[in-house]
């Protein structure tokens, strides 16, 4: 890689660590917000234009969509960590090999999953106890959405590659353009053409496809040596195994977290309408705490991978410390602000005093402990950035997900109110952090070994 690449702001191995992390993380935060708006806009349009039954049909597919996005984000993480390692080592051939292998595999995977998904959609929806009166609409929506699988996986992998090269702004721009088109598509297909729920799914399909195409355009216009050439797309077996070694555990972890949340939701549903409404509001409010942490986590994983690839172990370790301090500061500030105005915040979601009261009680249980979640995410991101995704997955799946399920099922009488159910989150976060810390310090020499790629 030529010398000019070393002087670019995209290189996280040089410059002030704090500034590099902040500049890199802010567009990631923006991209997360845009991604959230995708589903929110669909739900708003469908609910307002088509009514409650159609909105329920879109919501019924939410779990399946979340699982798919989690899997593909994991694949993007695998490609990102490996690319960042090569970037830190200034190995253009390694970058090219990962890039072309990952994009080729993304296209092949998406094409292979589409017919499987189309055939399995009714079975999966029935397994999720989708009510019969919305089954037809839910199936139609999901099947059209599945046609976007190639676009979704290509976007996630392509965005991961760009971020590995230090460019977190371009993926956000692609997402933003796709988000604007999603709004326009919903307006055209639902309001203008009156295509019903199929129109909403088609709007998502079009917007995701445009976002994926834009990512490929960005990759195709990088500097020579890091550029995507469509005529060179082919899968290198060794490179793919290295990508999947990180990507598969990360994706499975996301899926298992989703399923553990289903068990939590089942417990919530037993508490009545007020608790359901309060938790629904809390899950929306929580995003203001969650998204900054996730953005810093992705930034830290990329920073760690690049610096270990460059052999800068001391800088990588200092970045971990700085990012943890940043995460703690941001989380503490936002948590205090949320708690200070909690009643006013929940009043935006409901006019019912009981819902506001329960929502506030949930916030006072979870928000003060959110800093523990921040440390958990920074630890797991560091370990993934060092190229070890399997151990964080085992810890998270076993303790965060498995223990959460066991607590709720085996001790259901002890979690009989909304605040008590909310308590399961900080309990499992704390235990997971202890396990991650034990691994982090117990295998320190192994984690901080310089990666010669």
Residue in the block written with tokens 């195994």: 241
Name the least confident of 38-47, 77-86, 444-453: 444-453
Q: CA 213, 218, 220, 223: dihedral to nearest 10 degrees?
A: 180
Whether residue 53 contacts residue 134, with contact meaning beta carbons closer than 8 Å, is answered with: yes
Looking at residue 96, its pLDDT comes to: 93
Residue 5's pLDDT band, with cuts at 50, 70 and 90, is very low
What are 221-237's pLDDT values in tens digits?
998 778 899 999 999 99
Looking at residue 38, its pLDDT comes to: 67
Between 400 and 101, the more confident residue is 101
Looking at residue 3, its pLDDT comes to: 39
Report the b/e string of 168-190 with b at 16+ CB within 10 A: bbbbbbbbbebbebbbebbbbbb
- pTM reported for the whole predicted model: 0.84
Cα–Cα nearest to 110, from 171, 142, 58, 69: 69
Whether residue 209 contacts residue 37, with contact meaning beta carbons closer than 8 Å, is answered with: no
Q: Could you give the CA distance from residue 103 to residue 99 in angstroms, rounded to a whole number?
A: 6
What are 210-269's pLDDT values in tens digits?
999 999 999 999 987 788 999 999 999 999 999 999 888 888 888 888 777 777 767 776
Name the least confident of 20-34, 95-109, 171-185, 270-284: 270-284
Residue in the block written with tokens 């309001």: 191
Q: Which two tokens stand for residue 253?
A: 């972890």
Residue 40's pLDDT band, with cuts at 50, 70 and 90, is low
| Half-sphere exposure in the Cβ direction for 346 (13 Å, CA) | 27
Whether residue 368 contacts residue 332, with contact meaning beta carbons closer than 8 Å, is answered with: no
Looking at residue 2, its pLDDT comes to: 39
Looking at residue 6, its pLDDT comes to: 39
Looking at residue 60, its pLDDT comes to: 67
Q: Could you give the CA distance from residue 72 to residue 91 in angstroms, rounded to a whole number?
A: 26
Whether residue 291 contacts residue 331, with contact meaning beta carbons closer than 8 Å, is answered with: no
Q: Which two tokens stand for residue 108?
A: 């092949």
Q: Could you give the CA distance from residue 60 to residue 124 in angstroms, rounded to a whole number?
A: 10
Looking at residue 442, its pLDDT comes to: 83
Residue 308 has pLDDT above 80, yes or no: yes
58-62: long-range contacts, CB 8 A cutoff, minimum separation 24: 58/138, 58/141, 58/197, 58/200, 60/125, 60/128, 60/130, 60/131, 60/134, 60/138, 61/125, 61/138, 61/141, 61/142, 61/145
Q: Work out the average pLDDT over 187-201.
A: 90
Q: Which two tokens stand for residue 150?
A: 């190639």
Residue 102 has pLDDT above 90, yes or no: yes
Residue 318 has pLDDT above 90, yes or no: yes
Instruction: Strands of 189-344 (E only): list them.
Output: none
Q: Which two tokens stand for residue 134?
A: 């919305």
């Amino acid at each position: 890689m030529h010398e000019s690449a070393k002087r670019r702001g995209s290189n996280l191995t040089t410059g002030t660590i704090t500034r590099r992390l902040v500049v890199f993380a802010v567009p990631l935060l923006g991209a997360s917000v845009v991604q959230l708006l995708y589903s929110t806009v669909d739900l708003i349009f469908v609910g307002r234009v088509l009514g409650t039954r159609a909105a329920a049909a879109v919501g019924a597919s939410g779990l399946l969509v979340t699982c798919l996005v989690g899997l593909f984000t994991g694949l993007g993480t695998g490609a990102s960590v490996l690319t960042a390692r090569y970037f830190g080592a200034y190995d253009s051939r390694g970058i090219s090999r990962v890039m072309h292998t990952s994009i080729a595999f993304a296209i092949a995977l998406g094409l292979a999953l589409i017919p499987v998904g189309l055939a399995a959609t009714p079975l999966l929806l029935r397994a999720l106890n989708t009510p019969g009166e919305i089954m037809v609409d839910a199936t139609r929506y999901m099947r059209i959405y599945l046609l976007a699988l190639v676009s979704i996986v290509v976007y996630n992998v392509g965005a991961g590659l760009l971020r590995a090269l230090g460019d977190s702004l371009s993926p956000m721009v692609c997402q933003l353009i796709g988000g604007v088109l999603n709004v326009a598509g919903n307006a055209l297909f639902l309001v203008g053409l009156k295509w019903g729920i199929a129109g909403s799914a088609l709007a998502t399909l079009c917007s995701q496809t445009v976002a994926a195409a834009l990512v490929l355009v960005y990759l195709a216009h990088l500097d020579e040596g890091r550029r995507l050439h469509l005529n060179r797309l082919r899968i290198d077996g060794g490179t793919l195994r290295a990508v999947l070694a990180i990507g598969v555990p990360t994706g499975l972890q996301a899926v298992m977290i989703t399923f553990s949340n289903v068990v939590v939701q089942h417990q919530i549903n037993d508490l009545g309408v007020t608790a359901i409404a309060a938790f629904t509001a809390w899950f929306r409010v929580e995003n203001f705490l969650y998204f900054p942490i996730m953005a810093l986590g992705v930034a830290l994983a990329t920073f760690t991978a690049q610096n270990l690839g460059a052999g800068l172990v001391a800088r990588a370790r200092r970045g971990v410390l700085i990012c943890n301090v940043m995460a703690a500061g941001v989380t503490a500030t936002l948590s205090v602000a949320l708690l200070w105005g909690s009643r006013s915040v929940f009043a935006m979601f409901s006019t019912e005093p009981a819902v506001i009261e329960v929502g506030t009680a949930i916030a006072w249980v979870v928000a003060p402990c959110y800093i523990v979640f921040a440390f958990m995410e920074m630890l797991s991101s560091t370990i993934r950035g060092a190229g070890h995704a399997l151990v964080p997955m085992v810890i998270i799946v076993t303790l965060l997900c498995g223990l959460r399920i066991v607590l709720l099922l085996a001790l259901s009488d002890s979690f009989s109110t909304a605040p008590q159910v909310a308590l399961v989150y900080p309990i499992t976060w704390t235990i997971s952090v202890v396990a991650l810390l034990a691994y982090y310090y117990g295998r320190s020499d192994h984690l901080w070994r310089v990666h010669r790629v």
